[in-house]
């Protein structure tokens, strides 16, 4: 199982992606099909979508989310949970309910 590396995260336009290599990482050719992908990208590994940060005043910020993600999750486990249809915050909440409840209580108190 591969641990998340902080320097491999990319944030652009509200989307947080992970560009580090991990076991079972799909390529652009596998995701989009060889006929719909530029030939130079067919065998390149596809970045993992981590989360979208849409609201600036949300109780769980990108920094808090990243800290919890890096501390308690592996890349393969997180990718599998997202592939099963779970939302990013739901994955973190199920693994560490105390962290989630603490974040929500702090938001209510402030």
- 34 or 15, which is more confident? 15
Distances 98 to 5, 20, 48, 67, 94 between C-alpha atoms, Å: 24, 28, 26, 15, 10
Provide the whole-model pTM: 0.88
Q: Is 21 helix (H, G, I), strand (E, B) or coil?
A: coil
Kindly report the length of the chain: 110
Q: Phi, psi (5° rounding) for residue 22?
A: -150, 160
Q: How many CA atoms lie within 13 A of 48 on its CB side?
A: 25
On the question of pLDDT at 107 being above 90, the answer is no
Q: What pLDDT, in 10s, does the model give residues 61-74?
A: 999 999 999 999 99
């Amino acid at each position: 199982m591969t641990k998340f590396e902080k320097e491999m995260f990319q944030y652009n336009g509200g989307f947080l992606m992970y560009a580090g290599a991990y076991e079972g990482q799909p390529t652009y050719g596998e995701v989009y099909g060889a006929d719909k992908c530029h030939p130079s990208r067919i065998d390149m590994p596809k970045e993992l979508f981590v989360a979208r940060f849409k609201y600036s005043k949300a109780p769980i910020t990108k920094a808090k989310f990243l800290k919890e993600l890096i501390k308690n999750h592996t890349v393969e486990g997180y990718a599998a949970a997202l592939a099963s249809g779970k939302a990013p915050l739901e994955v973190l909440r199920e693994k560490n309910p105390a962290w989630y409840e603490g974040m929500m209580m702090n938001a209510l108190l402030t």
